[in-house]
Amino acid sequence: MQRYYEKVCAYMDYAHWDKSHIWHPFTQHQGARPAPLVTRAQGATLFLADGRTLIDGISSWWVNLHGHCHPYIVEALAAQAHKLEQVIFADFTHEEALGFTQALVPLLPPGLSRVFFSDNGSTAVEVALKMAIQYWYNLGTPKRKFVVLRGGYHGDTFGAMAVSARSPFSAAFAPLFFEVLAIDPPLRNADHRLALAQLDEHLNQHDDIAGFIYEPLVQGTAGMMMQDPHGLDLLLTRARQAGILCIADEVMTGFGRTGALFASSAMEEQPDIICLGKGLTAGMLPLSVTAAREFVFAAFLGASKERAFLHGHSFTANSLGCRVALASLELLLAESCRLARRSIEAAHQQFRAELLASPEGEFCSDVRVQGTILAVEIRTPEGTGYFNGLGETMAEFFVDGGVLLRPLGNIVYILPPYCITAAELGKAHGLIRQFLRGYFP
């Protein structure tokens, strides 16, 4: 079996097979260039079949925390695979879920002590929305609308799409979405009175709002749009006064990306429900978590089964995933990891200052940093947007230069694994400046 696999990888015309049989995500296959074949990865480096290497500047879609194939995580996974790989999680429990949640709960924003597992960021959000809706249903006061931040992204399943920004990505499905009430995100330098007034208007006009879902501190897919924590606090305070459930989607921001372990810790007001995914397992396996306060959980208790949260997935709380998530937390809590995150932030800040002081700074409408995330917004006649053609031009330039960056339209960002070296990060920063110099001679 092993030999057959090696033979296939060595001799197959992979590009032909990929083109003929594989359907890639977010991809227009007509006219698409062959996808590079990644054969292995180590640290921040991806190795391609044609001999090239790439520095993974986006943590492979924001999931990788400590570098690829980290030996500590690989070892934990291998040992777990010999012990218990998967078991039904309804009516049964296992040591890996217990151990991981014992480590996780004390780190979460205060009060989020009840943990529900699923498989990815979208399902973590789906679970949060269903929890919020059924919470009100169980209380006998049905409420089904959600307040959302404009430009938000929460995933690709139906509920998650409904609370995300309307865009060409979801246009075909829009008539099927439930009603949401949008307000402006509390971006840095924005006048927060406007968003507050919009929220007040929604609260006055609708008495059936179940919750407020938000990406705290950084709206990722929107273009790494960064917020003023005070502005978000104003909105959360108002939502809390109105008695609606606050749902923090920390699928991207969780596990140290924004500096602190969770972005929510930058705010005074803490969520009632939090969604976690991506970095939860350091990018090793798909696993996600939706954690709620005890009062939310209490609303599901009762004599009848109908009152329970009747939701689950085949791989809920997969034991390999839980074991790997615990290993990742151990690495995350080490002082060396905190220092690594601080070094990344310091390097981003230095790059920002140098870029803005250089002639290339002229071509940038904004350069922003939050923790380990850097975003450079490039001025173009088309303005800012995901479909700005500059994105693809840049992506090609960076890959040709040896760094995997996947710009969001005219916004190029770096969101690296925490193991990235100063030299590797310097190369990514340097390529951005090089692109600007070449593109705007």
For residues 28-57, which are near ligand PLP according to CB under 6 A? Answer: none
Nearer to ligand PLP, 134 or 290 (CB): 290
Specify whether the backbone of 391 is left (phi greater than 0), alpha (psi in -120 to 50) or beta: alpha
- Asked if 212 and 239 count as a contact pair (C-beta separation under 8 A), the reply is yes
Q: Quick one: which of 108, 183, 251, 405 contacts ligand PLP (CB under 6 A)?
A: 251
**For residue 123, which amino acid is it?**
T
Q: Is 121 in the site for ligand PLP (CB under 6 A)?
A: yes
Nearer to ligand PLP, 121 or 409 (CB): 121
Q: Is 155 in the site for ligand PLP (CB under 6 A)?
A: yes
Give the bridge partners for 211, in sequence order.
146, 245
The sign of the torsion formed by the CA atoms of 308, 312, 317, 318 equals: positive
The sign of the torsion formed by the CA atoms of 426, 431, 432, 437 equals: positive
C-alpha distance from residue 194 to each of 144, 149, 190 (Å): 24, 13, 9
Q: Is 249 in the site for ligand PLP (CB under 6 A)?
A: yes
Nearer to ligand PLP, 109 or 155 (CB): 155
Which residue's structure tokens are 């960064």?
226
What is the secondary structure of 100-111 as a DSSP string? Answer: HHHHHGGGSSTT
From first CA to last CA, the distance across the chain in angstroms is 54
**For residue 93, which amino acid is it?**
T
Nearer to ligand PLP, 163 or 340 (CB): 163
Nearer to ligand PLP, 138 or 328 (CB): 328
Nearer to ligand PLP, 220 or 391 (CB): 220
Candidate segments 246-254, 259-267, 315-323, 356-364, binder of ligand PLP by CB under 6 A: 246-254
Quick note: the x/- pattern for ligand PLP over 280-319, rule CB under 6 A, is ----------------------------------------
Q: Quick one: which of 277, 283, 371, 391 contacts ligand PLP (CB under 6 A)?
A: 277
For residues 61-120, which are near ligand PLP according to CB under 6 A? Answer: 120
Specify whether the backbone of 402 is left (phi greater than 0), alpha (psi in -120 to 50) or beta: left
Q: What gap in Å lies between CA 363 and CA 360, rounded to an integer?
A: 6
Nearest approach in angstroms of CB 314 to ligand PLP is 16
Nearest approach in angstroms of CB 275 to ligand PLP is 7
Q: What gap in Å lies between CA 416 and CA 283, rounded to an integer?
A: 12
Checking DSSP bridges between strand 209-214 and strand 245-249, what pairing results, if any?
parallel
Q: What gap in Å lies between CA 82 and CA 433, rounded to an integer?
A: 48
For residues 312-341, which are near ligand PLP according to CB under 6 A? Answer: none
Q: Quick one: which of 64, 134, 170, 221 contacts ligand PLP (CB under 6 A)?
A: 221
Q: Is 220 in the site for ligand PLP (CB under 6 A)?
A: yes
Q: Is 125 in the site for ligand PLP (CB under 6 A)?
A: yes
Nearer to ligand PLP, 116 or 435 (CB): 116
Candidate segments 83-91, 152-160, 177-185, 233-241, binder of ligand PLP by CB under 6 A: 152-160
Nearer to ligand PLP, 138 or 316 (CB): 316
Which residue's structure tokens are 């190029």?
412
What is the secondary structure of 9-64 as a DSSP string? Answer: HHHS-HHHHHHHH---TT---TTPPPPP-EEEEEBTEEEETTS-EEEETTHHHHT-
Candidate segments 66-74, 77-85, 86-94, 214-222, binder of ligand PLP by CB under 6 A: 214-222
Nearest approach in angstroms of CB 359 to ligand PLP is 34
Nearest approach in angstroms of CB 167 to ligand PLP is 13
Q: Quick one: which of 126, 184, 215, 345 contacts ligand PLP (CB under 6 A)?
A: 215
Binding site for ligand PLP (CB under 6 A): 120-122, 125, 153-155, 215, 220-221, 249, 251-252, 277
